[in-house]
Amino acid sequence: MTGPGAGDALFDNDDLAAASHRPEQYADEQRSDPAGTVDPAAVDPALTDPAAVAEAVAPVRSIAAEVGAVLLRTEDLTVRFGGLTALDHVGFEIRRGEILGLIGPNGAGKTTCFNAITGVYRPSAGAVYFDGAVLGKTKRNQITRLGIARTFQNIRLFGEMTALENVVVGTDARHKTSVPGAIFRTARHRREERDAVERGMALLEFVGIAPRAMEKARNLSYGDQRRLEIARALATEPKLLCLDEPAAGFNPSEKSALMDLIRKIRDDGFTVLLIEHDMRLVMGVTDRIVVLEFGRKIADDLPAAIRADPAVIAAYLGVPDDQVAGAEEGRP
Ligand SMILES: Nc1ncnc2c1ncn2[C@@H]1O[C@H](COP(=O)(O)OP(=O)(O)OP(=O)(O)O)[C@@H](O)[C@H]1O
């Protein structure tokens, strides 16, 4: 579990560099926290009409198409670390337009599952299918471009860049301009930059931090940094947004605002995979829940059924399985 001021991870940007379309030699430049890439004078005030904001945030409306069709499927997904099987033949589906919760006690394999889906780890066995393609050996930056974005347990932002710049960098994954085009500032490149700033402002408005657009990320409150991370992930126009413990360190009112934001994200056409320890939040916001324990899937059902599932209760309360089986069969 992480919380405010959680170490230096705030400024760890390996995955952001991976999300960029730029070739490897530019990755170091990004890691060195380039500041001042957006001219404040060029920034229009944020959109305020919610419908216009929603439209700008999800410009590719096809991401909302085919609600209910399978978007991602894991099949016998297995990840081993030496002798430890962190994920053991796990199979589940995420359907378009749903909020799927991935829960389980500490060490159950949730983050490993995220990492296998987003290309951080290669599966030891099994497969991940996304939007009709098997991810297999797909690299992280390609996975981002295929349409999977994520946030992290430990916030990762460019601390010296403004909130807006952090989001604009996220839009890089969708830019079509070549590196020479960027160097010579072609008309297409300038138009893409302008669009990125406009959409960046809409995204900040969408997550509720537009007034902080010109503040350095490191100066934002912890809650606003978490919102900024979500805005930056949405900037890549993902079909699937993976949120890893987004409520870590939040107080109850921040948690309830986060629930509203997650619903708003889904309502705008995105599909959401959510790892979260806070049961009230998970039960309140998800459409369906997958439960892991010791790397295995032990349940996959609607929130109400999960809440009453004896195996899930046992996993969380540490009740031995044989007692649960006995209780189910009416034995003492
Ligand atoms: N890179 C790694 N090398 C070795 N073991 C690992 C690695 N990553 C995870 N593990 C182990 O795999 C198991 C699953 O860990 P994982 O972080 O996926 O669990 P989790 O459900 O996300 O836990 P938490 O809720 O505490 O974040 C744990 O036993 C963990 O120690």
In the prediction, which pLDDT does 328 show? 41
pLDDT of 87 above 50: yes
What CATH number does the domain containing 319 carry? 3.40.50.300
**Residue 52 domain flag:** yes
More reliable by pLDDT, 189 or 104: 104
**pTM for the full model?**
0.78
Binding site membership of 84 for ligand 1 (Cβ less than 6 Å): yes
Distance 182 CA to ligand 1 centre (A): 40
In the prediction, which pLDDT does 180 show? 55
The count of domains in the chain is: 1
**Residue 4 domain flag:** no
Enter the DSSP assignment of 45.
P
Cβ partners under 8 Å of residue 48, min gap 6? 205
In ligand 1, which atom is closest to the CA atom of 112? 18
More reliable by pLDDT, 191 or 44: 191
Q: What share of the chain is helix, strand, coil (3-state, %, to 5)?
A: 45, 20, 35
For residues 166 and 216, the answer to whether their CB atoms sit within 8 Å is no
pLDDT of 230 above 80: yes
For residues 261 and 131, the answer to whether their CB atoms sit within 8 Å is no
**Residue 165 domain flag:** yes
Binding site membership of 100 for ligand 1 (Cβ less than 6 Å): no
The per-residue pLDDT for range 125-171, each reduced to its tens digit, is 999 999 988 987 778 888 988 999 999 877 788 899 999 999 998 77
Distance 46 CA to ligand 1 centre (A): 40
H/E stretch holding 146 reads helix 140-146
What amino acid occupies position 148? I
**Residue 102 domain flag:** yes
Range 65-90 average pLDDT: 90
Binding site membership of 103 for ligand 1 (Cβ less than 6 Å): no
**Bridge pairing between strands 125-130 and 99-103:** unpaired
**Residue 80 domain flag:** yes
| pLDDT category of residue 25 using cuts at 50, 70 and 90 | very low
Binding site membership of 297 for ligand 1 (Cβ less than 6 Å): no
In the prediction, which pLDDT does 19 show? 37
**Residue 288 domain flag:** yes
Distance 184 CA to ligand 1 centre (A): 46
Shortest-distance Cα residue to atom 17 of ligand 1 = 111
Range 104-123 average pLDDT: 93
- Is ipTM > 0.95 here? yes
CA distance 238 to 64: 11
The per-residue pLDDT for range 267-289, each reduced to its tens digit, is 988 999 999 989 899 999 999 99
**Residue 2 domain flag:** no
Strand segments, DSSP code E, in 152-261 are 240-244
**Residue 138 domain flag:** yes
> What is the number of alpha carbons within 13 Å of residue 233 lying toward its C-beta?
30
- Residue-number span of the structural domain to which 168 is assigned: 9-328
Binding site membership of 62 for ligand 1 (Cβ less than 6 Å): no
pLDDT of 304 above 70: yes
